[in-house]
């Protein structure tokens, strides 16, 4: 794989995300890229597809770029301009399509490369970074950190999940604690379980502090 297309993809996403504060920032993409490549290496995946799908996985996100979402114009445009062959572009697009989580309807990627990128994207919602992202998201959407009178809603479908507005702490039960069990790869599962354990300890401490018990 030529290093230049990766460097150029890094520049491309840096430009796109320089103005985004919705949680899909450049550093999220950078973390997903590094983790996807690490998992891809451990799993023996095609690293060109993994790297480029990870770098481009959010550029045509429906919230960020609704007008290019359907045909992934930004990702496809970038790849065609960099002479990536048709079959590889197709494989990258498939991986990107299959990344996102939506309640109980989420897809298991059809390729190993898609699995690596999906695991990496999910891992970024877990652990210390995942905790920070959850509260940052909640704050930017005007949600409370926690409300003891509002229990979490479990087993939501895709539609229910997208309409649901919950406190940041409920988000741990509604999505984040489900992710480790949904990982596709061995490395994703191991890292996911460790990050989930760390988050569960965090939530225990949070609730104890809330109740004046620790």
As measured in angstroms, the least distance from the Cβ of 108 to ligand ADP is 15
Query: Quick one: what does residue 195 bind among Ni ion, ligand ADP, none, with the CB cut-off 5 to 8 Å set by partner type?
Result: none
Query: What number of CA atoms fall less than 13 Å from residue 36's CA on the CB side?
Result: 31
* Ramachandran sector of residue 142 (left: φ over 0; alpha: ψ -120 to 50; beta: rest): left
Q: State which residue, 17 or 172, has the beta carbon closest to Ni ion.
A: 17
Q: Can you tell me whether residue 200 is helix, strand or coil?
A: helix
* Cα-based distances in Å from 190 to 17, 99, 187: 30, 19, 5
Among 121, 126, 178, 180, binds Ni ion (CB under 5 A): 121
- Stretch touching Ni ion by CB under 5 A, among 8-16, 56-64, 182-190, 203-211: 56-64
Q: State which residue, 168 or 184, has the beta carbon closest to ligand ADP.
A: 168
Tokens of 134: 């959850």
Q: State which residue, 98 or 121, has the beta carbon closest to Ni ion.
A: 121
Q: What number of chain residues touch Ni ion (CB under 5 A)? A: 2
Q: Is 60 in the site for Ni ion (CB under 5 A)?
A: no
Query: Quick one: what does residue 171 bind among ligand ADP, Ni ion, none, with the CB cut-off 5 to 8 Å set by partner type?
Result: ligand ADP
Nearest by Cα to 172 from 214, 206, 210: 206
């Amino acid at each position: 794989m030529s290093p230049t297309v990766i460097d150029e993809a890094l520049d491309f996403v840096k430009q796109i995300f320089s103005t985004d504060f919705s949680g899909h920032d450049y550093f999220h993409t950078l973390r997903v890229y590094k983790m996807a490549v690490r998992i891809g290496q451990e799993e023996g995946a095609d690293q060109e597809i993994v790297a480029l799908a990870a770098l481009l996985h959010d550029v045509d996100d429906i919230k960020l770029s609704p007008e290019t979402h359907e045909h992934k114009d930004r990702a496809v445009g970038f790849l065609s301009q960099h002479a990536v062959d048709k079959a590889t572009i197709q494989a990258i697009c498939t991986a990107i399509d299959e990344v996102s989580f939506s309640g109980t309807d989420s897809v298991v990627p059809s390729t190993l490369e898609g699995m690596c990128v999906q695991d990496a994207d999910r891992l970024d919602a877990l652990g210390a970074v995942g905790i920070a992202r959850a509260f940052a998201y909640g704050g930017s959407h005007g949600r409370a950190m926690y409300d003891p009178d509002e229990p979490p809603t479990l087993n939501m479908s895709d539609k229910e999940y997208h309409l649901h507005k919950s406190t940041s702490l409920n988000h741990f039960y509604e999505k984040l604690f489900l992710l480790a069990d949904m990982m596709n790869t061995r490395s994703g599962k191991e890292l996911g379980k460790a990050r989930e354990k760390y988050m569960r300890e965090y939530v225990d401490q949070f609730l104890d502090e809330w109740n004046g018990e620790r």
